[in-house]
Amino acid sequence: MLTPLAAIKSVFRNYATLAGRAPRSEFWWFTLFQVVLYVVVMVLGALGVGNSPEPDSVPPSMAIALGIAVVVGLGLIIPNITVYVRRLHDADFSGWLYFLACIPYLGVIVMVVFALLPSQPNGARFDAAPNTGSAMPDWNTSTTLS
């Protein structure tokens, strides 16, 4: 089980890596990190809500907070996708199942269930191939058709 800081570091270290696996602790600590980050941004934005120039307009502090939240969200899109694909691999599912999230309502529920599933030993099939240091392919070139 990873510590919160180790999990967050692991996600950012592998921010664009789809191969391999992510244990539940890595996925959920990173999810909690994001929730806390967004809550802090929104609370800071809400501190200046009373300073609205007009009663029906969005206060400047909340507009800035929403802008920051959008920028943070855009910056975390790739790490979110890759950690979820690696989480699916750890539960021994294909990363292509990530596209189930596109189904309204039901897709989100299915994705949460997949994220809650325990690690499976068969998920090792998704691990990255070890670096052998050889430029030669793993297959036997003498048996291929010419």
99-129 confidence digits (pLDDT tens): 999 999 999 999 999 999 998 888 888 876 6
Whether residue 116 is contained in a domain is answered as yes
**Is 39 inside a domain boundary?**
yes
- Domain-embedded: residue 51: yes
Question: Does residue 68 lie in a domain region?
Answer: yes
pLDDT digit string (tens) for 1-37?
889 999 999 999 999 989 889 999 999 999 999 999 9
Residue 43 belongs to some domain of the structure: yes
Total domains in the chain come to 1
Does residue 140 form part of some domain?
A: no
| 45, part of any domain | yes
| pTM of this structure | 0.79
If you write DSSP's letter for every residue of 8-68 in order, what string do you get? HHHHHHTTT--SS---HHHHHHHHHHHHHHHHHHHHHHHTTGGG-SSTTSPPHHHHHHHHH
Residue-wise pLDDT for 64-84, tens only, equals 999 999 999 999 999 999 999
**Domain coverage including residue 56:** 24-123
